[in-house]
Amino acid sequence: MRTPSRRQRPCQFRGDLSDISSNSPERLRKGGGNTATMILSLSLLLVSIAGLEAAQPESSRDALRSLLTDHFTTPRHHVTNPDGLDAAENFIYDTFKSYNMQVIKQVFSLRKNGDTFYGVNVLGLWPGRYFMTKQDKPVLLTAHYESPYDMSGVEDNGSGLAALLESARLITSQPCLQDYTVVFTAFDFSANLERDLQITPCATLACGCRKFVQNILVPFMNNSDIGTNDIQGVIVLDALLNYNNTPGAQEIPNEDSFQLVPGLVDSANAIRDDGYRGDFVAVISREVDSPLAAAFNSKFDEAGNSQYKRRSLTLPFTAITDQTKQDPLWPLYDGLTDADVKAFYEVVPDLKAIFLTDTVIFRGREKKWSSLTADDSMTITDERLDFLKKTTDAVTRMVEDLTGHKETCGKDPLTEFPGQAGYQMKGKLQMTDVTNENVKFTVHDVQPHGIVTVTLAGQAWSLDMIGMFDPLEHILHLHIQVPAAGVNGQYFGTISCKVLGRFHFHDSAVMFTARMRGHCGSSELTFYGGRGGGSGGGFERAGFMALYKSDDTGSSGPSLALPVVLSLLGGMAFSAALAAVAWFVYTRRLANASANSLPMKENQ
């Protein structure tokens, strides 16, 4: 379903995570103006098995061209073309969803002169193996989708969006489950420079990004065990299309000031010595960002095609504060961070973040920037597409390295998954020490690269879930694709709902043991915050699940009686998983436990 037009759109997100939108109209308030995760604690066997190969990701020039010409050519602006802005918003949302991501729209409001303006950030989460656990080390890839009010939108920022969506396509199409979560975000209300347009409500620049940082990212970190050091970094994609090899095409603003900053002088000299050609992508960062910048630089250099260069610009501060703005060189630094990255440097300065750009107005194009109109679309040449492609490939490979992507999966998901569409398992969900419920697990689809869609249902509830199957470890990771917002006042709504478990096989029998964590839609299905006693509650609580399927009609079926007894006797957090496997072995009358049935260590 679509969100209402920006003239009718309410603020769905008002300062805490309970307002994350599920994109359903009934959640949209008219007018102006715990964490659920199913985790089976596993002791992973480190093996190297030749098998299913994940191809080295490489973007498609045709795909990039199509994104630019078919979707990001027209202006996208709240005043001059709100319909174009809505179309881009919905296209990004639908694209993320088609890539099987968990998708969210964050609706926010800005005010100016008594008027209310609504913006929408579009988020796509690609959960990793450790999603919603304190072991997760997320990576964020961002671009803004609003265009300047009088421009076509191809360059600023259709090119950054094309890189974002193409990278998302490549990362989500790989057959191996990565370790860490990737968050793709498309921000609204990025620009504050509107020339003669006086009604822009975004006076501080990067307003959509700032709303995301303040109302989603910071609350998430405050209510979890994940801090700024655990987030590996943010990559901000700005305009990335304008390759102009003409001598004199590149301007260096405040060029004399560049000579005064050690982190800028080398690149300024290299640009001058190269005849001021616009043949590079600028990599803007701070010292704290150096590991992230080095990771990008390495992948960019490995991509070859040396006519497309990079220039590293390292800023001499960590945080943008009032004191930073008193520096005589602040006008230079201000210009170099004149984008969404500024919100990260101001609000969460300890978080690593780099900014990739072709420098936009400081690089010449077919027509002077000051005289552009909405009809003056940047010419999309093969050279420019290859320039964009190289950056897209470098970013994609960098993100895959950071998130623990595996190039060899070892086995084929289609042959390793226990069943296809219609396959069912039944069993019990142990919600507390004394309560459990019958549950049914129904498979709807299994795709070649391991994407699985299922329904998990109890007596009075049903969850449609999507996720990734790891064929090497037989691990299934599930989440709710379109989460509801603000359910029972829980942080993050049902975005936190997660099921993570493992299949065990013997003869014709299959068992699935898993943990359910987070907030999954009702108080009974809330496993968030309990035993740890930390300020945010953490991810300690979980529901334990054991499901069973057998072609042996003589089997008596699953029961959690033995697991519960052994759990009480064991007195250890992981004893329920141990008991479930023991139960499986017992009911199948195995003489010896197989490797797949060994006790599994709790994922702390």
Per-residue confidence (pLDDT) for residue 550, from 0 to 100: 74
Least confident interval from 125-139, 432-446, 478-492: 478-492
Instruction: Check residue 305 and give left, alpha or beta (phi > 0: left; psi -120 to 50: alpha).
Output: left
192 has a pLDDT exceeding 50: yes
Predicted local confidence at residue 115, as pLDDT: 82
Tell me the C-alpha distance between 461 and 529, whole Å. Answer: 22
Say whether pTM exceeds 0.85.
no
- Which residues, 6 or more positions from 599, have their beta carbon under 8 angstroms from its beta carbon? 574, 577, 578, 581
- Token pair 């699940």 in the structure block, residue: 545
pLDDT band at 454 (very low <50, low <70, confident <90, very high): very high
pLDDT in tens, 13-34: 333 333 333 333 333 323 333 3
> In degrees rounded to 5, what are phi and psi of residue 443?
-90, 135
For the chain, where do the domains classified as CATH 3.40.630.10 start and end? 64-402
For residue 78, give the H/E element and its range: none
Q: What is the pLDDT of the chain when averaged over all its residues? A: 79
Name the superfamily (CATH) of residues 64-402. Answer: Zn peptidases (3.40.630.10)
Residues of the chain with CATH 2.40.128.30: 413-597
SS (H, E, C) 457-517: ECCCCEEEEEEEEECCCCEEEEECCCCCCCHHHCCCHHHHCEEEEEEEEECCEEEEEEEEE
Question: DSSP letter string over 131-165?
Answer: TTSTT---EEEEEE----TTS-SIIIIIHHHHHHH
Q: What's the pLDDT tens digit per position in 288-337?
A: 999 999 999 999 999 989 999 999 999 999 999 999 999 999 999 999 99
Beta-strand runs (E) in 274-381? 280-286, 309-315, 353-357
CATH of domain 413-597: 2.40.128.30
Q: How far is the CA of 299 from the CAs of 142, 380, 432, 579, in angstroms?
A: 18, 24, 48, 46
